[in-house]
């Protein structure tokens, strides 16, 4: 059994406050502008207090009915935190990939050692990115999500110009410089 | 036609429909996953001075206000989460008895999977119990399209209607066509001919109950077009409602065999029992996919002569938790490989207090005071809100979280049964929601009962909505019978912790009812300038 072609399923994962839902919304809006049927699921409430956050984004040439991605079918998990990148691996399909930062957010007692995470990742199709030097390079500490989105964009059927317009539309209320910095981060990611 | 395409959450789609079909009054109490319905409505209503969107102190009051607006002939909607309907149950059941005048919708968002709740109760059972029809959308578009229909039926049949969402639909984001634009309706006040409908003394109530049962019989045909049966060649059938349908549709788009299954799709209750009978006569077995309790499944099992019924009740589907496409596939035997096994030994990242939150300082003082009094491990009755996180590491300061306001009653009950000092912890908005009445016997108890009110001026957990009655707690407490000298206002700041600990120790030693107000604004509402914005708007 294979999933229908052109049904894209992506899980965005991270920690409350990292802007995970914004990444999901950017992707959703970009796909909508490319003419796909879209559906996103997000969880509000308890999880937004520095806890686990995830959002399911799906787009397809045929209507998407379930807000929840079918386990075993996602093309990608995009994670702004390495521990969080491991939480939803059962959703990945056989060709799927995890795109995650290496940079840990240890905001609770009992956060595992990096070795523990690395060992889990050994058996998984993980693209672990050392984002700290990249963020330093562009001088924009808040650019983590958009760098990762840039990397993810390499595998998505969305034109660069569409990404640019959705990033502009989302961040313009915060000023042109925020748009420019995010676009720079996205472009860096898309070239890696 | 004023058609426009927007991106919206399911919750927001309901709010837009309420605006577009002429709702004049919107009331609610915050609670995930219902909050966004009110908040979107509030935003839309703020552009029209003829409409009102008002947060109520609790769901019961919200529904009573909705009923008052309905009495005046206006369309009204009331929003709450599923456990809020328990609080509003008295007006809910009795509004069905009186009937309504202007259309009245009770929007209830259930939380299958308990993402942000203490249980996953199914509101359809409460609608059934109250003899109230229930509408249940499957998609974001239906969240919008079904609401005007619900208002029509509500006005035509003079009944309140429960409009049911679940977390996944409320928080699903997708494309919505806004295509309705109706003016505000105004039927005028309840006419003299109907006066007695609203006076539920036994002589009139008996008549009203008879009317209610007749209405419920009639309504089956009124909403009949929303439920449909399609019999196909397969002798396997499915009964689908809400996200059960959404999930099955997803699988059906990938598994062609499913197109041959006979289907009964349910979007409105009560359901014509004949549909279940027809389906069960046609099929050998029927699977029921619904969130979250086995409501249709139980009915189907009672009515089915031939077909075997499968669902949560017979454990074909796991009893607890959400449906998802994989569960549907597993149930129907269309499994797909899951190449990477779920990692089950990852530590959970718990939600935590925001940096600088006053609750942490308050809990530190409480822990220190108990330790210095030789009461380490003493049990403390907690409540529902951000401060519930004080039950977890590193504080472990409170030991119960049951329902809104339980801390006050449980503290008093424990004191009556010999526990001293008895201590409760409650937030300011939870206290206004369901603690005020409990404080009357509390203040008069002559026991060593102590209530710590975590006063941050907002309903913090659900997005910092301004707490009803904020900044007026002292006068309320005195009015309810507390002695002024037993009310202590403390500032939960790191610099004050030592001093606050000393005061708490004195309070806990005293054999009298005491209330300690730990007062400091929520750091998030402060960052967002919630009160500054309110002040500016008041001045403008």
Backbone φ and ψ for B239, nearest 5 degrees, come out as: -110, 125
**Nearest-CB residue to B351 (from A50, A87, A110):** A50
**Nearest-CB residue to B352 (from A32, A94, A107):** A107
The residues with which B26 forms a beta bridge, in sequence order, are B53, B77
Distances (CA, A) of A132 to A22, A140, A177, B189: 20, 10, 21, 66
Tracing tokens 């909505």 back to the chain, one arrives at B465
Residue B86, burial from CB neighbour count under 10 angstroms (0-12, 13-18, 19+): middle
Give the model's pLDDT for residue B167.
97
Helix (H, G, I), strand (E, B) or coil at B161: strand
Q: How far apart (Å, rounded) are the C-alpha atoms in residues A26 and A170?
A: 8
Give the model's pLDDT for residue B122.
98
Q: How far apart (Å, rounded) are the C-alpha atoms in residues B168 and B111?
A: 8
A residues 72-91 near B, CB within 8 Å?
72-73, 83-84, 86-87, 89-90
Strand order in the sheet with A37-42: A126-129, A92-101, A74-79, A7-15, A52-60, A37-42, B172-178, B4-9
Tracing tokens 């029921």 back to the chain, one arrives at B288
Q: How far apart (Å, rounded) are the C-alpha atoms in residues B312 and B297?
A: 8
Q: Do B339 and A92 touch (CB under 8 A)?
A: yes
Domain positions in chain A: 7-191
The residues with which B78 forms a beta bridge, in sequence order, are B27, B106
Residue of A nearest to B340 (CA): A90
Give the model's pLDDT for residue B470.
82
Strand order in the sheet with B449-455: B422-427, B449-455, B514-519, B487-490
Tracing tokens 């619904």 back to the chain, one arrives at B290
Q: How far apart (Å, rounded) are the C-alpha atoms in residues B179 and B175?
A: 13
Contacts 24+ apart (CB under 8 A), B114-117: B115/A43, B115/A45, B115/A46, B115/A47, B115/B32, B115/B33, B115/B167, B116/A44, B116/A45, B116/A46, B116/A47, B116/B32, B116/B33, B116/B167, B117/B32, B117/B81, B117/B82, B117/B83
* Set of chain B residues whose Cβ sits within 8 Å of the Cβ of A110: 347
Indicate if the pLDDT at residue A4 is higher than 50.
Answer: no
Q: How far apart (Å, rounded) are the C-alpha atoms in residues B488 and B479?
A: 15
Closest by CA to B136, choosing from B166, B159, B113, is B166
Give the model's pLDDT for residue A48.
61
Q: Do B33 and A45 touch (CB under 8 A)?
A: yes
**Nearest-CB residue to B168 (from A68, A94, A111):** A68
* Set of chain B residues whose Cβ sits within 8 Å of the Cβ of A71: 324-326, 338
Integer Rg of chain B from CA = 26
Give the model's pLDDT for residue B112.
95
Give residue B3's pLDDT band: very low, low, confident or very high (50, 70, 90). Answer: low
**CA B368 to chain CA mean position, Å:** 36
Indicate if the pLDDT at residue A1 is higher than 50.
Answer: no
**CA A71 to chain CA mean position, Å:** 17
| Count of alpha carbons within 13 angstroms of residue B351, beta-carbon side | 18
pLDDT in tens, A145-181: 999 999 999 999 999 999 999 999 999 999 999 999 9
Helix (H, G, I), strand (E, B) or coil at B28: strand
Cβ count near B468 (within 10 Å): 18
Give the minimum alpha-carbon distance from A66 to chain B in angstroms, rounded to a whole number. Answer: 5
ipTM of the complex: 0.94
Q: A7-191 has which CATH code?
A: 3.40.920.10
Q: Phi-psi region for residue B457, left (φ > 0), alpha (ψ -120 to 50) or beta? A: left
Q: How far apart (Å, rounded) are the C-alpha atoms in residues A93 and A73?
A: 4
Give the model's pLDDT for residue A150.
98
- Mean pLDDT, chain A, integer: 93
Q: Domains, chain B, ranges and CATH?
A: 4-222 (3.40.50.970), 226-332 (3.40.50.920), 358-528 (3.40.50.970)
pLDDT in tens, B411-466: 999 999 999 999 999 999 999 999 999 999 999 999 999 999 999 999 998 889 99
Any idea what DSSP says for residue B162?
E
For B511, the token pair is 């054999």
Q: Do B115 and A108 touch (CB under 8 A)?
A: no
Distances (CA, A) of B293 to B112, B146, B239, B315, B341: 9, 22, 14, 12, 28
Q: Do A83 and B346 touch (CB under 8 A)?
A: yes
**Nearest-CB residue to A41 (from B172, B348, B386):** B172
Give the model's pLDDT for residue B536.
82
Give residue B1's pLDDT band: very low, low, confident or very high (50, 70, 90). Answer: very low
Those residues with Cβ within 8 angstroms of residue B498's Cβ, 6 or more apart along the chain or in another chain: none
pLDDT in tens, B143-153: 999 999 999 99
Region A36-57: mean pLDDT is 85
pLDDT in tens, B112-132: 999 889 999 999 999 999 999
DSSP string across B429-477: HHHHHHTHHHHHHHHTS-S-EEEEEEE-SEETTTT-EEPTTTT-HHHHH
DSSP string across chain A: --PPTTEEEEEEEEETTS-HHHHHHHHHHHHHHTT-EEEEEE--SGGGTTSEEEEEEEEESS----SSPPTT-EEEEEESSHHHHTTTGGGEEEEEEEEEES-----STTPPPHHHHHHHHHTS-EEEE-HHHHHHHHT-GGGHHHHHHHHHHTTSS--HHHHHHHHHHHHGGG-HHHHHHHHHHHHHHHH-
């Amino acid at each position: 059994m294979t999933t229908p072609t052109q049904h894209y399923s992506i899980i965005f994962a991270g920690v409350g406050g990292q802007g995970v839902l914004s990444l999901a919304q950017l992707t959703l809006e970009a796909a909508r502008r490319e003419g796909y049927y879209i559906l996103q699921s997000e969880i509000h409430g308890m999880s937004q207090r520095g806890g686990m956050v995830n959002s399911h984004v799906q787009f397809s040439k045929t209507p998407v009915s379930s807000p929840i991605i079918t386990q075993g079918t996602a093309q990608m998990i995009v994670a702004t935190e390495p521990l969080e990148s491991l939480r939803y691996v059962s959703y990945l399909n056989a060709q799927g990939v995890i795109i995650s930062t290496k940079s840990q957010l240890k905001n609770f007692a009992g956060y595992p050692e990096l070795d523990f995470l690395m060992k889990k990742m050994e058996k998984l199709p993980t693209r672990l990115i050392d984002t700290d030097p990249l963020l330093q390079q562009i001088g924009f500490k808040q650019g983590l999500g958009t760098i990762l989105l840039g990397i993810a964009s390499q595998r998505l059927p969305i034109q660069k110009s569409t990404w640019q317009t959705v990033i502009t539309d989302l961040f313009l209320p915060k000023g042109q410089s925020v748009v420019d910095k995010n676009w720079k981060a996205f472009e860096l990611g898309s070239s890696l | 036609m004023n058609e426009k395409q927007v991106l919206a959450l399911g919750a927001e789609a309901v709010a837009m429909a309420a605006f577009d079909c002429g709702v004049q009054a919107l009331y609610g109490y915050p609670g995930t996953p219902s909050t966004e319905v009110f908040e979107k409505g509030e935003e839309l209503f703020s552009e029209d001075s003829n409409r009102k969107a008002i947060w109520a102190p609790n769901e019961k009051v919200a529904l009573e206000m909705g009923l008052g607006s309905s009495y005046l002939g206006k369309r009204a909607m009331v929003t709450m989460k599923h456990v809020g309907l328990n609080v509003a149950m008295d007006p809910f059941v009795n509004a069905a008895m009186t009937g309504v005048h202007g259309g009245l919708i009770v929007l209830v968002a259930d939380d299958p999977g308990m993402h942000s709740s203490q249980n996953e109760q199914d509101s359809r059972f409460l609608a059934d119990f109250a003899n109230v029809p229930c509408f249940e959308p499957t998609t974001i578009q239906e969240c919008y399209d079904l609401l005007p229909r619900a208002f029509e039926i509500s006005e035509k049949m003079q009944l309140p209607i429960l409009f049911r969402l679940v977390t996944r639909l409320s928080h699903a984001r997708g494309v919505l066509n806004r295509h309705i634009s109706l003016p505000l309706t105004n039927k005028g006040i309840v006419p003299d001919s109907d006066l007695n409908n609203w006076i539920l003394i036994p002589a009139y109530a008996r008549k009203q109950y008879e009317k209610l049962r007749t209405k419920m019989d009639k309504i089956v045909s009124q909403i009949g077009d929303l439920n449909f049966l399609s019999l196909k060649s397969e002798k396997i059938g499915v009964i689908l409602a809400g996200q059960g349908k959404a999930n099955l549709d997803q699988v059906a788009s990938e598994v062609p065999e499913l197109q041959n299954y006979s289907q009964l799709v349910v979007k409105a209750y009560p359901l014509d029992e004949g549909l279940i009978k027809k389906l069960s006569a046609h099929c050998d077995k029927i699977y029921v996919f619904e969130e979250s309790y086995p409501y249709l499944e139980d009915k189907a099992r009672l009515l089915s002569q031939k077909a075997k019924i499968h669902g949560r009740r017979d454990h074909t589907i796991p009893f607890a938790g959400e449906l998802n496409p994989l569960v549907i596939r597993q149930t129907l035997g269309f499994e797909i490989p899951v190449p990477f096994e779920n990692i089950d030994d990852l530590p959970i990242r718990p939600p935590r207090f925001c940096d600088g939150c006053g609750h942490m300082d308050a809990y530190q003082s409480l822990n220190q005071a108990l330790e210095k009094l030789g009461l380490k491990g003493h049990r403390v009755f907690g409540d529902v809100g951000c401060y519930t996180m004080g039950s977890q590491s590193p504080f472990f300061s409170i030991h119960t979280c049951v329902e809104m306001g339980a801390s006050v009653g449980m503290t008093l009950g424990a004191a009556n049964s010999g526990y001293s000092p008895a201590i409760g912890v409650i937030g300011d908005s939870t206290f206004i929601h369901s603690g005020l009445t409990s404080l009357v016997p509390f203040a008069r108890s002559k026991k060593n009962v102590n209530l710590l009110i975590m006063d941050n001026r907002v309903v913090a957990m659900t997005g910092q909505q301004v707490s009803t009655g904020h900044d007026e707690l002292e006068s309320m407490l005195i009015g309810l019978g507390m002695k002024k000298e037993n009310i202590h206002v403390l500032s939960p700041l790191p610099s004050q912790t030592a001093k606050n600990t000393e005061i708490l120790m004195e309070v806990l030693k005293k054999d009298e009812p005491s209330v300690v107000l730990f007062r400091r604004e929520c750091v998030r509402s402060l960052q967002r300038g919630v009160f500054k914005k309110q002040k500016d708007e008041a001045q403008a």
